[in-house]
Amino acid sequence: MKNSYKFGKESEAFAAKYLKKKGYKIIEQNYRNRIGEIDIIAKDRDSLVFVEVKARNSNYFGSAKWGVTQTKQKKISMVAVQYLKETNQVNTKARFDVVAINLRDEHTDIEIIKNAFNLAF
């Protein structure tokens, strides 16, 4: 379990670095409230972006980008709405992105899926 936790944290740090390179401004990492957690909250031009990082080190469960289930989307949506309320940004343009990281041998594929899903309840 410790190895998967470490792998997750390293993947989130890698994703944040990649997002910065792509012009995102990181606002928070590992934002938590009573409902749950969002891996990264960033600004991309005029949008507030809630980012879920998914990383896989094998293809056994398929590509990382398919790892954000409907249940996970609902949870992220609820956390995001709470964040917007807490920070008085309910009228801010916002979206949900997924950063998918697939490690294959010595090669790392990373992809940003913009608008990966809509607000889900």
pTM of this prediction exceeds 0.85: yes
Q: Which pLDDT value is given to residue 49? A: 98
Question: Can you give the CATH number for the domain in which 105 is found?
Answer: 3.40.1350.10
Using pLDDT thresholds of 50, 70 and 90, give the confidence band for residue 1: very low
Distances (CA, A) of 26 to 17, 38, 44, 62: 9, 12, 9, 28
Q: Which pLDDT value is given to residue 62? A: 62
Residue 17: domain span: 2-117
Q: Which pLDDT value is given to residue 63? A: 67
Q: CA-CA-CA-CA torsion for 74, 77, 83, 85, nearest 10 degrees?
A: -100
Q: Which pLDDT value is given to residue 108? A: 85
Is pLDDT above 60 for 99? Answer: yes
Query: pLDDT tens-digit profile of 58-96?
Result: 665 666 777 788 999 999 999 999 999 999 999 999 999
How buried is 36 (Cβ within 10 angstroms: 0-12 exposed, 13-18 middle, 19+ buried)? middle
Higher pLDDT, 93 or 3: 93
Q: Which pLDDT value is given to residue 26? A: 98
Distances (CA, A) of 50 to 62, 89, 99, 103: 23, 13, 11, 23
Question: Which residue in this structure is represented by tokens 């949900």?
Answer: 96
Query: pLDDT tens-digit profile of 22-52?
Result: 999 999 999 999 999 999 999 999 999 999 9
Q: What value does the mean pLDDT of the chain take? A: 89
Number of domains in the chain: 1
CA 117 to CA 98: how far, in whole Å?
A: 9
In this structure, the strands spanning 25-32 and 37-44 are antiparallel
